[in-house]
Chain A
Amino acid sequence: QKEVEQDPGPLSVPEGAIVSLNCTYSNSAFQYFMWYRQYSRKGPELLMYTYSSGNKEDGRFTAQVDKSSKYISLFIRDSQPSDSATYLCAVSRQLTFGSGTQLTVLP
């Protein structure tokens, strides 16, 4: 079983839609959960990080962690074309990445 599983997409949504991106992880010892955004030919850019179950909100982005089911989510409200990128979930201190979900927001 992979340590972190993420649906690679691609995912296309219309502008203004709510986007839900999800990952599952296998090791219950993981304590840190992060979402990164990666534009083409750029490094991963940190969006959100948390180390507890529950929700964390930052502007249009909400990160959700459910440690009991080992499930993490990123919600994007009022999605914009500029949100088009690959979104990577990452867990644990040294970061084990998911494979990334490619998101396209259509104007």
Chain B
Amino acid sequence: EPEVTQTPSHQVTQMGQEVILRCVPISNHLYFYWYRQILGQKVEFLVSFYNNEISEKSEIFDDQFSVERPDGSNFTLKIRSTKLEDSAMYFCASQATVYNSPLHFGNGTRLTVT
């Protein structure tokens, strides 16, 4: 069964550094998402992406965050200057169509900011 893959599984970075989290969505899916889960808290929506542009974003997704689909297969989340509070699991998800189809999640990247 096709799946969403995320790399790396664990990323450690120093505060103020830039990180790029990578995702390969399911190949025929059209909608892409990033979610965040701080340890012990709920899964939170960050951003959705369709047709090479952001379709929706949450309050969490501020100017430090950006997303890109550089080559038609990868979908990346960039955090420009990481803060301690960015430490979390970051999940990528993809969806075939926006209506009546579920989101499929990757296994996440654990980001640790020291």
Contact = CB atoms under 8 A, between A and B. Distances in A.
A88 B42 CA distance: 9
User: How many interface residues does chain A have, given as a range?
Assistant: 20 to 34
Interface residues of B, number: 24
Contacts of B48: 94
Interface of B is mostly: strand
Nearest to A4: B42
B65 interface: no
A72 interface: no
A37 B49 CA distance: 24
Given A93-B98, A94-B33, A43 B105 contact: yes
Interface of B: 4, 6, 33, 35, 41-45, 48, 56, 91, 93, 98-100, 102-108, 110
Interface of A: 32, 34, 36, 41-46, 49, 51, 88, 90, 93-100
